[in-house]
Amino acid sequence: MDNRPIGVLDSGLGGLTVLKKVIAKLPGESTVFIGDQANMPYGDRSKEEIIELTRSSVKFLLSKNVKTIIFGCNTATAAAMPTIQNEVDLQIIGVIQSGALDAAKKTKTKKVAVIGTTATTLSHAYRDEIHSRDSDIQVQEFAQPALAPLAEEDPDEDTKLKIVSQSLRPLKNGDFDTLVLGCTHYPLLLNEIQACISPDKCILDPADQVAQYTYNVLKRDNMLAEGPAKHEYYTTGNARKFTEIARQWMNDPELIAKHVQD
């Protein structure tokens, strides 16, 4: 048994989509979430910048005595996780490995599309992870730099649908059966994405597999908590706006986010 919290980091709000699945799968676990909204989006930054920003969030989570850290950010997973894994002793869980595993299992035609930030797409992390499981799978990668900021801004529904529709136009009649949401902000736009993609396509949210893998790791290492669970939320950005959106997404009217310096 280990009642220390699970740490989750992201460049902004997107990691909440991972956190929500983790809490549902592991209701007895306490969590600490940090969203680096002051510096998002990460997707247009250099690898060196992403590593330094992610390192700062990891340092914050370590100060909260977490027992494991989930990189609830595809860009941080692709650019920073290999480096930071060598700098800390805790288990680090990334979203890309989980998403790639799920995609390799689910595709029937062996044709997969991935949408993500520019940095994630250019890293080819999803392609490489999927090919490590099945080299015959064809992987198409599409950078969608407008979507993460759109999810953070949370405009009216018509505006969201218009921007998502414009962004995903190249995928409308694409030759793939499985679409991986390669940015944790994208599930916040799931309704709009589904409206713009052929209904016969399978849309995968890697958060489902992340939650299952986290459970497996904690159970394997005898680190599951007994509860009661406590959840803390922090942002380097506007705590009031973060709280408003997070309350809706997490279905928790009592949720309060605190501001921390970036």
Q: Please, which residues bridge with residue 116 across strands? A: 143, 182
Whether the Cβ atoms of residue 181 and residue 193 lie closer than 8 Å to each other: yes
183 is catalytic: yes
Distance in angstroms (rounded) separating the CA atoms of residues 82 and 61: 18
**Total residues belonging to the chain:** 262
Distance in angstroms (rounded) separating the CA atoms of residues 191 and 150: 14
B/e letters for 132-147, b = 16+ CB within 10 Å, e = fewer, are: eeeeebebbbbbbbeb
Which tokens sit at 234?
Answer: 């922090």
Whether the Cβ atoms of residue 66 and residue 32 lie closer than 8 Å to each other: yes
Q: Which of 6, 66, 73, 257 is catalytic?
A: 73
Query: For residue 102, what is the enclosing H or E element?
Result: helix 95-106
- How is 168-214 classified by DSSP, letter by letter? TGGGTT-S-SEEEEESTTGGGGHHHHHHHS-TTSEEE-THHHHHHHH
Distance in angstroms (rounded) separating the CA atoms of residues 117 and 142: 8
Give the number of other CB atoms < 10 A from CB of residue 230.
11
Q: Which of 183, 225, 245, 246 is catalytic?
A: 183
Instruction: Cite the active site residues.
Output: 73, 183
